[in-house]
Amino acid sequence: MAGQLIIVPQVSSFPAHEARARLILRWLAKRNVVEALPTTCGRGPLGMAYALAPGAAEVVEEPRYLPVGQPINGLEVIYKRCIFTPERGFLEEAGCPHCRQEIGEALFESLDEWMPGHTDNFTCPECGHEDDINGFLFLQPCGFSNLGFIFNGWERAGFRQAFLEEFADRLGFAVRVVVVEA
């Protein structure tokens, strides 16, 4: 199974997320990073994704690791609230940005409230600091949002920093990259 590079905006409830995703897809197609129309190159339920295009080599650190010619190589966009983690070996460790205490157990237990959308925030049990769950510190990159961009098979290629900065600017929110190893 192919690994993934996932770009996640650092906001639980992205406003008008479907419209913004369409803008991002048009921008990526215009840059020739992915194809403009979906095909069966994804891993999701229907297997539909936006296939790797030649311009992808311009936005990654190691183009030789792009999944050129592989059946699973496309960008899938997730439009529902999701927890994006590296899967294997995820430690569920988190810290409070205010008091710097380890609060991972309480934070990950709170996901029962976060997942159905009852709240976007978490309150530190040590100092009372409250923020969007993405505002807390995580030992391993992860993200919590109703929008995610999953690049299948791109995990070893790695995105260039300038591309990530432009992606974040176009989204209007900071992003985090989650790497899911194959």
pLDDT at 44: 78
For the chain, which residues make up each domain, given as ranges? 13-80+146-173, 89-138
With a cut of 80, say whether residue 158 has pLDDT above it: yes
With a cut of 90, say whether residue 88 has pLDDT above it: no
The answer for residues whose C-beta is within 8 angstroms of residue 67's C-beta and 6 or more apart is 2, 52, 73, 152, 153, 154
State the average pLDDT over residues 109-130: 95
Q: What is the pLDDT of residues 8-60, one digit of tens each?
A: 999 999 999 999 999 999 999 999 999 999 999 999 778 899 999 999 999 99
With a cut of 70, say whether residue 1 has pLDDT above it: no
Specify whether the CB–CB gap between 74 and 41 falls below 8 A.
Answer: yes
For the chain, give the percent of residues with pLDDT over 90: 91
- Average pLDDT, rounded, for the chain: 95
The more confidently predicted of residues 33 and 181 is 33
What does the block give as tokens for 117?
A: 């959308």
